[in-house]
Structure 1
Amino acid sequence: MGYGLKTAFAAATLATVLGAAAAQAQDQAALIKPVDKELTFVFVPKVIHPWYDVVAQGAAFAVEELATQGIKVNVIWDQPPQADVGDQNARIEANIGRHPDGLAVACLDRATNVQLMNEAVNAGINVINFNSFCDDAFPFIGPKSSEQDGYDLGKYLAEQLGGKGKIAILSGSLTASDHVERITGFKKALADFPEMEIVFEQPDDDILENAVALTENMLQAHPDVAGIFGSNASNPIGAARAVKNAGLAGKVVIVGMDDLPEAVDFVCDGTISALKAQRQWDMGYWAVKYMVAMNQNHTIPMFHNTGSRFLTKSDCTS
């Protein structure tokens, strides 16, 4: 082959390669679908609860942000009044029949919830998991394991009590993975302190009034209790109300989850010693953003860890 032919062949080969690369890039851009209708997203949390109001605020902010880009989103919240697995599953199933553009679920019972979420995917619905982890098959927003939060609070409580004392646990919903994992982590932390004894452990089913009543009964049965751990957003508040009403504020050390306004008030007045607060606003915001991206055929992360932070009286402003 002569020099001229070789040059021409090389040029042709290069043009073919560049043309293929351009076609590949063009093809990837063509994979993205424009949103040309109003999207409807349904959130099915575990229960009606003020904690989810903050999730909803994050979702609403994302909706407003998207509206400035010409993307209209309608968000529907379908919440069980109590943490009831059958009720939640019925709502998930009903919403599969409505075929929304996105379905966001906080798992109350992994096995049955996952079965229905798979049905939703098979029906062509974009499914997101938030707050309480379900399964690696679904994109998840939140802390994948809540064990660390429980462990951190257990270590903090042990330090406050000098590694000694009787402890009570309000265990939330027994089927909620995040509640169960926090208790597992809490008990692992206490295992390093043989002079700390768990004398009470009862579920309050994520109902504030139950947490108050359980704590009142516990204080009567164990007047020498030194510390209380609350595994969800309701029960630290319930424990604090009961402890304060009994005149024991500052004498019984309370630790628990999340930063609902009343819980923060109890931290600032010294009734609650510490909270681990999640970033649930981010959960709502990113759930909406990611479900829009799924409708556009973008790729999204399978795990977005929103994290948590400690709150103590030092974080309070005067």
Structure 2
Amino acid sequence: MKTKRASAVLAATLAAWLPMTAAAQGQGDLITPIDRKLTFIFVPKVIHPWYDVVAEGAAFAVEEMKQRGIEVEVVWDQPPQADVVDQNMRIEANIGRQPDGLAIACLDQATNVQLMKEAVEAGVFVTSFNSFCDDAFQFIGPKSSKQDGFDLGERLAEILGGEGKIAILAGSLTATDHVQRIEGFKEALAAHPGMEIVFEQPDDDILEKAVELTESVLSAHPDLDGIFASNASNPIGAARAVQNAGKEGEVHIVGMDDLPEAVDFVCSGVIDALKAQRQWDMGYWAVKYMVAMNENHTVPMFHDTGSRFLTQEDCQ
């Protein structure tokens, strides 16, 4: 009897205590207020005007955070060229600085992911953007760029009536977004056996190299019909070379992104079509999500920022 009475008292005590515990540990109590300046470091693939637009989005988010009373400093650590070793050295050095957030655009999936794991183990909040790395890390951007390449392949096939000789400016061979765009482009061309790829070379995301490669292929294949440019630099490089050769309207160009010079080439008819990403959103949401991580919020592991076609009709 004594044991039963003791059990009843314990049960009553627990019943009274559990609701109090639940109330004291509500979800709002899980959030950590920010009471210091946060430092976020962005490590892109290369110094490039494309990332200037990412930085604009990040700066806008910083101003929004300021309105909430949260001070954020954004630091950019950009390799001058798309060099895997250089980028990894920068990532490793920045892990040692123990920032409040590290945003990485993957240039080499395997080695970048290993360093990102090390950053997490060191207690650094990590996000990724632009080029997908791994499902273990939050990512902002198109998870697969294959569809963009496929869409541009279909557009070029439509322009050329499914016939012609094609060159590919392949960007960086280790960048997943560049590789996936080429895969998608070739998949689209597979349905058009009259389209032959006669040239494919990496330009390493260097505009001047894209110009040189295009000049080379125009010389080797004077009957070239089309060019696929897989990143933000090489549509401009291809267009400069085609225009200098007096072959605008004869050699058709499709490619990625909407840098101002590329848009000017679209409006003048030298470039036929671009698929433009929304990199401003990448910078904006990277800052917002890294603040949220520091506040102990949950964040989506994947945020697709999308892309859109840009043609001469959009210049009207």
The reply to whether TM is greater than 0.5 is yes
Counterpart position of 1:197: 196
Please tell me the residue identity of whatever aligns with 1:54. Answer: V
In structure 2, the partner of 1:66 is 65
- In structure 1, the partner of 2:180 is 181
Number of positions where the alignment pairs a residue of Structure 1 with one of Structure 2? 306
Matched, 1:263 2:244: no
Paired with 2:204 and 2:140, the residues of 1 have a C-alpha distance of 23
Deviation at 1:26, TM superposition (A): 3.9
Letter paired with 1:60: A
TM-score (norm 2): 0.94
Deviation of 1:30 after TM superposition, in Å, equals: 1.1
1:17-32 alignment, distance < 5 Å: 20=19, 23=22, 26-32=25-31
Distance 1:120 1:270 in 2: 46
Distance 1:218 1:194 in 2: 21
How big is each residue's C-alpha offset from its partner over 1:196-235, in whole Å with a ceiling of 9 and x where there is no partner?
A: 0000000000000000000001100000000000000000
Query: Corresponding residue for 2:145?
Result: 146
Match of 1:110 in 2: 109
C-alpha deviation, 1:178, in angstroms: 0.3
**Mean alpha-carbon deviation: is it higher for 109-118 or for 25-34?**
25-34
Superposed CA RMSD: 1.7
- Aligned counterpart, 2:48: 49
Structure 1 partner of 2:87: 88
CA distance in 2, matches of 1:177, 1:26: 43
- Give the structure 2 partner of residue 132 of structure 1: 131
Alignment gaps of 5+ in structure 1: 1-11
| CA distance 1:170–1:296, shift in 2 (3 Å) | same
CA distance in 1, matches of 2:25, 2:268: 61
Q: Distance in 2 between matches of 1:292 and 1:279?
A: 21
Q: Residue 24 of structure 1: CA displacement?
A: 5.2
Paired residue secondary structure (1:158): helix
Task: Tell me the residue number matched to 2:288.
Answer: 289
Q: CA deviation at 1:17?
A: 8.8
Change (3 A) 1:21 1:89: same
* Cα distance in 2 between the residues matched to 1:17 and 1:258: 61
Distance in 2, Cα, partners of 1:49 & 1:256: 16
Map Cα deviations across residues 72-95 of structure 1 (whole Å, 9 max, x no partner): 000000000000000000000000
- In terms of mean alpha carbon deviation, does 17-26 or 240-249 score higher? 17-26
Deviation at 1:21, TM superposition (A): 8.4
In the TM superposition, what are the counterparts of 1:244-283 in structure 2 within 5 Å? 244-283=243-282
* CA distance in 1 between partners of 2:242 and 2:170 (Å): 17
Deviation at 1:23, TM superposition (A): 1.9
CA distance in 2, matches of 1:18, 1:275: 63
* Residues 34, 86 of structure 1: alpha-carbon distance in 2 compared, 3 angstrom cutoff: same
Partner of 2:310: 311
Q: 1:21 to 1:243 in 2, by over 3 A?
A: farther
Task: Give the secondary structure class of the aligned counterpart of 2:149.
Answer: helix
Cα distance between partner residues in 2 of 1:261 and 1:19 = 61
Against the structure 1 CA distance between its residues 151 and 18, is the aligned structure 2 distance closer, same or farther, given a 3 Å change threshold?
farther
What amino acid maps onto 1:99 in structure 2? Q
Q: Deviations over 1:149-183 (max 9, x none)?
A: 00000000000000000000000000000000000
Gaps of 5+ in 2: 1-10
The CA distance in 2 between the partners of 1:252 and 1:302, in whole Å, is 41
Instruction: Indicate the residue corresponding to 2:7 in structure 1.
Output: none
Task: Provide the residue aligned with 1:6 in structure 2.
Answer: none
